[in-house]
Amino acid sequence: MVLEQLEAIPDPHDPAKWRTAQGILTVTGPKFMNWNRGVGGGGAIDLVMHVRHLGFGQALEWLERRFHGLGLTPPQPGLMPKEQALALPSPVAENWPRVERYLVEKRKLPRALFSPLLQSGIIYADVRANAVFLLVDTNATPVGAELRGTTNLPWRGMAPGSRKDHGFFSLPSTPQEATVLCESAIDAISCHALHPTYRCLSTSGARPDPEWLSPLVEQGQLIYCGFDADPTGDLMAQRMRALHPSIQRLRPAAKDWNDLLRQHA
């Protein structure tokens, strides 16, 4: 029912697959996986957040408005879970060398940028040697984390209970001349390496209106939308600028900022 309201199209040959604006989803019970983007989740709220690029509160409002407004039966309680408690992976210092090799050798990120990130605890390695990038709120309290696999098999995800609308990943910085919104932590680090005078942060996906964005815009600083140079990134950048006209588009000259950095390297 939720997938139908999201205008997802069922695969005629595989009942577990649905075509959406974000790519093909594999749906098993309340869980889904987007193999095109390497992310997944569970429950109706996660599904709406992913397909519609909404925050938790916005997704809940969308569900309530859509189902009650059309007189439909709302999703079962099991598909609309309460907010999950944040479960950050524990740091495992001995795994950092492997993570650092991946970030430097595969992603071509400058090693010099890691020192302040490590000291602040914003980035670390977990027990599976995933790279962990913390999302923090205005009080520097962790509210989530982006996870990136460091093996040959591409993998990315979020720590359970992450609240993307409550904070973001950002490189520690002094006041900069502009802020660039990127789709991931690795893109934010890459963008900063290419534009050292810019403050670069991650929206953890191409999300046009996270809850923390309006207060940031109200500060009056120049803000660029640096989403990927692909149809999804362009569409979400257009929506962001429609909601926040002062934000300008800064389109990477490659598919994303990390691809551009690797080209330069």
**pLDDT digits over 140-195, tens only?**
899 999 999 998 776 788 898 899 989 999 987 766 789 999 999 999 999 999 99
Q: Looking up tokens 């599904």, which residue turns up?
A: 47
pLDDT of residue 80: 45
Q: Any long-range contacts for 4-9 (C-beta under 8 Å, 24+ apart)?
A: 5/66, 5/67, 5/72, 6/47, 6/48, 6/51, 6/52, 8/51
Could you tell me the pTM of the whole model?
A: 0.72
Give, for 67, the enclosing helix (H) or strand (E). Answer: helix 56-69
Q: Which of 18-22, 58-62, 100-104 has the highest mean pLDDT?
A: 100-104
Q: What pLDDT band is residue 81 in, cutting at 50, 70 and 90?
A: very low
Q: Worst-scoring range by mean pLDDT, 131-140, 155-164, 221-230, 239-248? A: 155-164
Backbone angles phi, psi at 116, to 5 degrees: -65, -30
Q: What is the pLDDT of residues 2-26, one digit of tens each?
A: 888 787 888 887 778 888 878 888 8
pLDDT of residue 78: 45
pLDDT of residue 1: 67
CA distances from 214 to 135, 165, 202 (A): 17, 11, 15
pLDDT of residue 33: 80
* Residue 41 vs residue 157, higher pLDDT: 157
CA separation for the pair 62, 70 (Å, rounded): 12
Contact of 179 with 197, CB cutoff 8 Å: no
CA distances from 147 to 48, 59, 169 (A): 21, 23, 12
CA separation for the pair 25, 48 (Å, rounded): 12
CA separation for the pair 265, 185 (Å, rounded): 19
CA distances from 142 to 121, 209, 244 (A): 10, 20, 26
Checking if the pLDDT of 248 tops 80, the result is yes
